[in-house]
Structure 1
Amino acid sequence: MSSFELAALILLCLLGWFWLDSIKVRELGVQAARSACRREGVQFLDETVSISALRLARDADGRVRLRRVYDFEFSASGDDRQRGSVMLLGNEVTMLDIGSRRPAEFTRH
């Protein structure tokens, strides 16, 4: 096996690991967003999250981990779409934001 083939195999293995790890962490993000929406009494729209940022960061022990930020949408009244986000450092949720919700406006007739 040549050094080029070995490097290609290592790269392929790393890409496979990254893909599988991303699926697992994304599901943790979905679970965290779903739980937060249930706790706040809002509807978790589309039942999914989408990645908005990916970077390296250090955890509390100083180890380098991947920090992923996922966005999701929720609705307080069913007629609106509001954006929330969940940040994961490695496999741990480090921040979850569903924004400042304002009460629905009603019109008197």
Structure 2
Amino acid sequence: MSVSTQDLIALGGVVGLIWLWLDSLRAREIALGICEAACDRRDLQLLDQTIALRRLSVRSTRSGLRLRRVYRFDFSEEGVGRHTGHLVLVGLDLEEISFGLPTQADDAR
């Protein structure tokens, strides 16, 4: 029984999709942990304990090509209102997290 080039390409595609799915699950777990820790440090409540992938792209880094994921999450200040923040991971490393709130330096003015 011989294996054709088309079979190898199809197998490679399936393996690639499985890798992407598993890598995305791991990245989501990491992003959720970062959001929970950041909310705890700011005395904010992460709502629904969930984050949602908003954008997926590829970024060139010194280490080569990496997936860049942008997640959205909702949080509340003292249980009042609902605000939206975002978190950016490049590979599995945090690039940016934003709550869209004034910084403490802005509050002092």
Whether these two folds match at TM > 0.5 is: yes
TM-score by length of 2: 0.87
> Structure 2: how far apart are the matches of 1:86 and 1:39?
16
Deviation at 1:99, TM superposition (A): 1.0
> Which has the bigger relative contact order, CA under 8 A and spacing at least 6?
1
- Which consecutive unaligned segments of at least 5 residues does structure 2 have? 103-109
Deviation at 1:39, TM superposition (A): 0.5
List 4+ stretches of structure 1 deviating above 2 A.
none
1:63 — aligned with what? Answer: 64
> Structure 2: how far apart are the matches of 1:31 and 1:62?
24
2:26 — aligned with what? Answer: 24
Q: What letter corresponds to residue 5 of structure 1 in structure 2?
A: D
- Percent of matched pairs sharing the same residue: 35
Q: What letter corresponds to residue 70 of structure 1 in structure 2?
A: Y
* Structure 1 or 2: more strand by fraction: 2
Deviation per CA, 1:4-55: give whole Å up to 9, x if none: 1111100000000000000000111001110110000010111111001111
**RMSD, matched Cα:** 1.5
TM-score by length of 1: 0.87
Deviation per CA, 1:28-86: give whole Å up to 9, x if none: 10011101100000101111110011111122x25211100000000003131100111
